[in-house]
Amino acid sequence: MTFRWRSVALAAGLTASLGAAAAPRDDTAAAPYFPELGPHIMRVGRYEDAAEANRKAIAAEKAYVEKAQPKGFHWMYVAHNPQFLMAAAMMEGRRAEALSAAREATGYLSPEMLRQMPGYDFSLVYPQWVQVRFGGWDEVLAEPAPPDDLRFAKAMWHAACGIASAARSRPDEAETERRGSPRASASRA
């Protein structure tokens, strides 16, 4: 019963979001979270529409942040729209925009905040994984390592470096990365 109810609610939300996306709107500055519909648009392959919704959301969020000067966990929400822009841009093959959005999202997420959110630390390696997506092997290997105590991020960093090493036909280096990867599940104590 719960699954059916959630499915109906999701379908209704998706339909409403897509309907809203089709209509022109100029009020995103008043509501920075309206463009949450971006992920819903992405689910049906409308990546450019999703990217544009999130570009508008980023602009609205910047205006809000300038006025409200929020503190604490709000920065996780500020990072949300660049995360979705990153994903949409990657699906469209736009490396520069995806990387810029990844760096913007990561810039909002301090290691101190992420230490309070076990498992969410993967966001520190967004730029590296954008480079993996586009085959930027030298750039993958040049990305700095996250702090050792953020084990999931560290494991994802080693995984990306291992993929880059393998792609560069350096199996010994790839194996070294595999061995250096901490158990990510250990950070979920």
pLDDT average, residue stretch 21-35: 47
Residues 43 and 84 in one domain: yes
- The answer as to whether 1 is a domain residue is no
pLDDT average, residue stretch 126-154: 95
pLDDT average, residue stretch 157-179: 94
Please give the Cα distance from 165 to 159 (Å, whole number).
10
| Domain range enclosing 38 | 8-105
- The answer as to whether 120 is a domain residue is yes
Share of the chain above pLDDT 90, in %: 57
Please give the Cα distance from 176 to 123 (Å, whole number).
23
**81 vs 37, 63, 130, CA distance in Å?**
11, 14, 16
Please give the Cα distance from 40 to 51 (Å, whole number).
11
User: Alpha helices, DSSP H only, in the chain?
Assistant: 2-22, 37-43, 47-68, 74-91, 95-107, 111-114, 126-133, 137-142, 151-167, 171-180
Please count the other Cβ atoms lying within 10 Å of the Cβ belonging to residue 73: 11
Picking from 57, 86, 105, the residue at the C-terminal end of a domain is 105
Share of the chain above pLDDT 70, in %: 74
pLDDT of residue 107: 94
Residue (of 86, 94, 74, 182) closest to 126 by Cα position: 86
Question: Which residue reads 């991020």 in tokens?
Answer: 153
The count of structural domains within the chain is 2
| Phi, psi dihedrals of residue 147, rounded to the nearest 5° | -60, 145
Residues 56 and 88 in one domain: yes
pLDDT of residue 72: 77
Residues 23 and 83 in one domain: yes
Global confidence as pTM = 0.76
Residue (of 139, 141, 144) closest to 174 by Cα position: 141
Residues 100 and 52 in one domain: yes
Range among 39-53, 127-141, 144-158 with highest mean pLDDT value: 127-141
pLDDT average, residue stretch 146-172: 94
Ranking 25-39, 60-74, 140-154, 168-182 by mean pLDDT, the lowest is 25-39
In the predicted structure, residue 24 carries a pLDDT above the cut 60? no
Q: What DSSP character marks residue 146?
A: P
Buried b (16+ CB within 10 A) or exposed e, 99-110: bbbbebbbebbe
Residues 94 and 169 in one domain: no
